[in-house]
Structure 1
Amino acid sequence: MSKKRVLITGAAGFLGSHLCDRFIKEGFHVIGMDNLITGDLRNIEHLFPLEDFEFYHHDVTKFIHVPGELHYILHFASPASPIDYLKIPIQTLKVGSLGTHNCLGLARSKNARILVASTSEVYGDPQVHPQTEEYWGNVNPVGPRGVYDEAKRFQEAITMAYHTFHGLETRIVRIFNTYGPRMRLNDGRALPAFIGQALRGEDLTVFGDGSQTRSFCYVDDLIEGIYRLLMSDYAKPVNIGNPVEISLKDFAEEVLKLTGSSVKLVYKPLPVDDPKQRQPDITKAKQILGWEPKVSRAEGLKKTYEYFKSLPKEELVKLPKEFISKK
């Protein structure tokens, strides 16, 4: 029997590359696709020698052609960090709209099941806590974060339209803060920013008074939740994230303790529309998927810190010598 084939867009990114690994492990033929605007081929170069992996350097906002059968599509192409989507706002909107439309059209033509990667950002700066899937959000469509938030909200809307109008098999995952190996040090999000600053001997930048909260999920847990959702029969959005909440000030203190750094915290003004609270209600994931996170933050942080310390010299050029790998 021939292997099932899966297309993963954004394959060279943080989450996309881990998904490629998972589907190879599960015995699929994996087709990765990425335009490499924010992705990095080093994340998937270990897969290139494999017979069951192929890569397309392609922008999904253009027409997508993949020859042969496709059984599943996972649409993960999108800038995901503020430093990226504030720098390339038009591309962010296009990949969420045109890119999603193209992926849905491909799924329909191939009779494939498609899972799209949405985000907790659809909740905006939430007035409901923790956030359930039924909450509609509090989003500023014309604020600086609107290019990402509204791209994802449109993505969910067109995905459900294809499901209800065309009968397409669709899945929607709302991803909360995730971390782990293959994140970029210049990602702009809290964890790589804190660890990068600590390793360089710089003070850790906390925005606002640090009382705003986040809930951090280790990447292995997230990938497991995504895989279970894809294989489920549930078409509506599902939150996947770790419900253990922590303030960014306390999180920065955890990073300082982990790295043994003697730098201090410095406070800067809170960015516009920065969410004050972020915590997933994962009741649906537990009930429908039998999923909940397993990796503690202490364990996940240790693995992530070891990854950052092992990065090539050119990426760590600003780091103190004792943190530079001998590789």
Structure 2
Amino acid sequence: MLVRDGFPGQRFRVLPRPLVESALREPVTRRLLVTDAGYFPHAAAHGRVRPLGAPESIVMVCTAGSGVVTVAGVAHRASAGDAIVLPSGTRHSYVADVLDPWSIWWMHVAGADSRELVEAIGVASAPVLRLREPASAAAAIEGVVAVLERDETIPTLYAAAGSAWTMLANLAAERRRGPGSDGDRIRAVQDHIRSNLTAPHTVGALARRVGLSASHFSAVFRRATGVPVMEYVKRLRSARARELLMTTDLTVAEIAERVGYADAFYFSRQFHAVNGTSPRAFRARGRLDEAVGSESTASE
């Protein structure tokens, strides 16, 4: 027999349905609302069967033990360090392991943003996500629970929504980066590029650095970041160039050299491609905005 709750040391909050219905009509909480949240430690016999799914999306972070989640007839094992994401309306069931029952932080979320974020996490066929930083994910839900334990006022619902939004966005980012080994390699390359911005980077050299073929590396990098490798390099260089244009009196040629371009004209073309304006025009506009702001402050 499955047990829904009642575990020693548990914490949870469930909003009353009239409040949920009214909050989902309000400007902020209609985007994202945490309707339920809690913590079940060593939850022996814990489980649910939902033939029609739940009206909200469900997120669980397993911090100890294990369990099995079944979606569309396929069973998926979840253990410590995993997140489980079940979109609203998805037929599912889950049960804690008999010998080593899980401990889980969990929350139910509703609203337009929750649907889009869950879709971005991409869990339709793979509801269990291995976390790179499970402690942070668990702490995020713990923060949601702590907030809801205060009261059920609108400021509290806002605060809970903010923590939940950040947590879901981080899960989407982890899924976008790809499986652990590939994701770690991409992050290593990103760190290398940032630390060596002026180096003459090539796709082949960066791929060899992490032991991948150029074609596989390019595909994994684009999936993880949303842009091709060299576009990523160009954008990082552009970001550094914008900083130098706003905070120094270096010439455009000097800035070009500092961000990895030997040819100032080529740098200007690359800068324009990212920013829609030339380096000189960008600097002039920034200084004009600063002057207008100074005049406004002086007149107050």
TM-score by length of 1: 0.23
Structure exhibiting the larger radius of gyration computed from Cα positions: 2
> Higher helix share goes to which structure?
2
TM-score by length of 2: 0.24
Larger RCO, structure (CA 8 Å, separation 6 or more): 1
